[in-house]
C-alpha cells in the first residue's frame, strides 16, 4: 500500500466515523471511538475489496467505495451489538 492510499483511507475513515456520529446519535461511544472504528472499517473494507476484486488496480473510486462501505458497516454493527448504556441519574426526593 502506498503512502497516498493510506492517507486516502485514513481520511475516508475519519469522515465516515464523524458522519456516523452526526447521523446516528444513539448508541455510540463517543467521537474517538467512532473515528477509530471508521478508520479500522475503511482499512478492512479496502483490503477485502482488494483481495476479492478481479481487477486489483481498478483505481481510486472502487477503493474509496470499499472503504466507505467497510467503515459504515463496522459502525452500524457496533451500534447494533455494543451499545453504551446510559448512566442512571439520581432522583431528588
Quick one: DSSP state of residue 85? P
pLDDT at 17: 81
The model's pLDDT over 38-49, given as tens digits with 9 standing for 90+, comes to: 888 888 888 888
CB contact at 8 A, 59 and 4: no
Q: Could you tell me the CA-to-CA distances from 21 to 10, 38, 61 in Å, in that order?
A: 17, 10, 24
Distance CA 13, CA 67 (A): 7
Over residues 12-17, the mean pLDDT reads 85
The model's pLDDT over 2-13, given as tens digits with 9 standing for 90+, comes to: 888 888 888 888
For the chain, the structural domain boundaries read 3-81
The model's pLDDT over 52-87, given as tens digits with 9 standing for 90+, comes to: 876 556 677 877 888 888 888 887 888 777 765 555
pLDDT for residue 28 is more than 70: no
Amino acid at each position: 500500500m502506498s503512502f497516498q492510499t493510506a492517507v486516502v483511507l485514513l481520511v475516508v475513515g475519519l469522515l465516515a466515523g464523524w458522519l456516523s456520529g452526526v447521523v446516528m446519535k444513539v448508541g455510540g461511544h463517543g467521537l474517538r471511538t467512532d473515528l477509530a472504528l471508521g478508520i479500522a472499517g475503511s482499512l478492512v473494507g479496502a483490503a477485502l475489496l482488494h483481495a476479492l476484486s478481479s481487477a486489483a488496480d481498478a483505481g481510486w473510486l472502487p477503493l474509496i467505495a470499499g472503504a466507505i462501505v467497510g467503515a459504515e458497516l463496522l459502525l452500524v454493527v457496533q451500534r447494533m451489538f455494543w451499545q453504551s448504556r446510559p448512566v442512571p441519574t439520581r432522583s431528588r426526593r
